[in-house]
Chains A and B, each alone.
Chain A
């Protein structure tokens, strides 16, 4: 009994001493942080890390509101979000913890293997309607997009479409899995997903950002050596005055062990 009391007192003491930290935000980053938090707690039993999703926007809003210590985001902090933090007298720190490559995918029966950024833009904005315009068979192009609320959609729109809106009435699917399914069973389909989702049911096209001089295959290797162009960084944001509290975990993710996790869940490591 005495032992139990001492033990529980010890636990309470340890908890008040430890730096409980909350991480919130992007669903894309979630697999990395969840796994990392699990292993981090295992090797530092005194620490306490809780991870929740909700989307990049939600995470950053929580950081501004003070209900989270780290916001994880699959996009860069927007100007007005940064502004809100500065108004509250804080400065925000940004750390890139991993990269995610976006692959443009088509049906495996489609003969096309190479597309330039301009051609992909033409397809998604509705200017290119037939595969023969980009060197394929005489077949209608069926572009699939993600729902407008998705971070993947925002990055694709910014990087590939150069901030233009996709054509009115583009087909939009609620999840990456549904996109893969639709591309698999639709001959003229074209869509985009994170590299980690590409499988043998779909074909990832080689992309050129220099008007057709070099076409690069989407792969982790090409994303690491920076030859593949459609790569987005994944971020951690935290307030500078909380640096001491969150530093240990951020360092853990950037350490070789942490980056090993990044690679294991299908993303591209920072180093």
Chain B
């Protein structure tokens, strides 16, 4: 009787914990995507601010990129923006305090819009960046510039990442997307052959004594904090890469890949080795009895049998490489440029999130842009694990 009840309770508890985990994962993904997709409702200009020009100016709207170039003094003439041939004068709200005293602006700045309108009316070449609540919009001679919302292509195809630029931050994530893929793929190219080699050696060739000594050491490597790997990469690997290839900088995609490969190795070795050792003794003996050599047994019997375990090792390794933050943050140089070779510095998605999320104002465009990066990362990992799953299933059918 007691046994029956305890069985039921255990069953219920297991179902319950499964349900809780499922719900938690669902909630996290919903939260991630909800925050991230809010970005496309944000205007391309900093929230709470607007741009004003003299109403004689024939320019009506600007893109985020144009605004950035104007305020960086890269575009200096209205002619380049489709206006008349006059030099652009940039005006920021703080300048108003040099023209007028606090008394003239009023105690609660109630005269500020009026004074702003005055300044704008006087100068045809001006572009003023002011808070919306002091907008001199209803005054004569002043015109607000129209700025579009951030679009899908701005975000995914944009090449510049300047999230704190004022007045118009740029959220182009293409360099980071490509950088993440490059660093992780090269890391896996290094780690996979090495990892599988070590796994085969440990499970099939090594003496029991050596195996018992090596396995715990390799597994210990997985427990080292990633900051330690990062610091090792910055102090040892970066100068090494720089000297070997005679480069101007040591913080490159290659350095990141090497560090990630080292970090992914313990996972790959450990999981793959376990899978291979799980091959039944009867199968090995049958193979040897048929006259197969030791090597033939390994690649005709053991590896096919362990295929799903090996593919799990690969997925876990890639997952580790793509999601790694701290180590990469320290060794890749974090330059948001589209990488053209392995010797360029790159900026990865996880490193960007780690470096910037702490200071991004909650709910703002920058915050949302970082969450959307999280969604992108989530999707990349999902696609990879689904593909790996499909590949390992397909092969198994053939072998059966």
Contacts and interface: CB of A to CB of B under 8 A. Distances in A.
Interface of A: 55, 57, 79-80, 83, 86, 125, 139-140, 142, 147-150, 154, 163-165, 168-174, 178, 181-182, 185-189
B68 A181 contact: no
11 contacts: A79-B93, A83-B131, A139-B248, A164-B72, A165-B165, A168-B337, A173-B334, A174-B355, A178-B330, A186-B242, A186-B248
Contacts of A188: 248-249
A150 B359 CA distance: 8
A47 B175 CA distance: 53
A182 B234 contact: yes
A149 B248 contact: no
B71 A185 contact: no
B94 interface: yes
B48 A80 contact: yes
Contacts of B336: 168-169
A181 B242 CA distance: 14
A172 B335 contact: yes
Interface of B: 48, 68, 71-73, 92-94, 108-109, 131, 133, 159-166, 175, 234-235, 238-239, 242, 248-251, 329-330, 333-337, 345, 347, 355-356, 358-361
A181 B230 CA distance: 12
Contact of A165 (B94, B109, B162): B162
Given A142-B249, A170-B335, A171-B251, A165 B235 contact: no
A124 to B, nearest CB: 12
A186 B252 CA distance: 12
Given A149-B356, A188-B249, 16 more contacts: A57-B359, A83-B131, A142-B249, A163-B71, A165-B162, A168-B160, A169-B337, A169-B345, A171-B334, A172-B334, A174-B355, A181-B234, A182-B249, A185-B238, A186-B249, A188-B248
A79 B94 contact: yes
A163 B70 CA distance: 12
A184 B347 CA distance: 21
Given A168-B160, A171-B334, A174-B330, A185 B72 contact: no
A118 B276 CA distance: 63
A72 to B, nearest CB: 16
Nearest to A151: B359
A182 B255 CA distance: 13
B92 to A, nearest CB: 8
Q: A79, A154, A170: which has the most chain B beta carbons within 10 Å?
A: A79
Contacts of A83: 109, 131, 133
B379 to A, nearest CB: 25
Nearest to A172: B334
Contact of B248 (A140, A170, A178): A140
B175 A169 contact: yes
A57 B361 contact: yes
Contacts of B361: 57
A186 B251 CA distance: 9
Contacts of B159: 168
A174 B358 CA distance: 12
B94 A185 contact: no
A149 B360 contact: yes
A174 B345 CA distance: 15
Nearest to B362: A61
B160 to A, nearest CB: 5
A164 B68 CA distance: 9
B335 A171 contact: yes
B337 A86 contact: no
Contacts of B133: 83
A131 B249 CA distance: 15
Nearest to A56: B359
Contacts of A164: 71-73
Contacts of B68: 165
Q: A55, A86, A185: which has the most chain B beta carbons within 10 Å?
A: A185
Contact of A147 (B242, B251, B355): B355
Contacts of A154: 164
A77 to B, nearest CB: 11
Q: A86, A149, A164: which has the most chain B beta carbons within 10 Å?
A: A149
A129 to B, nearest CB: 11
Nearest to A166: B162
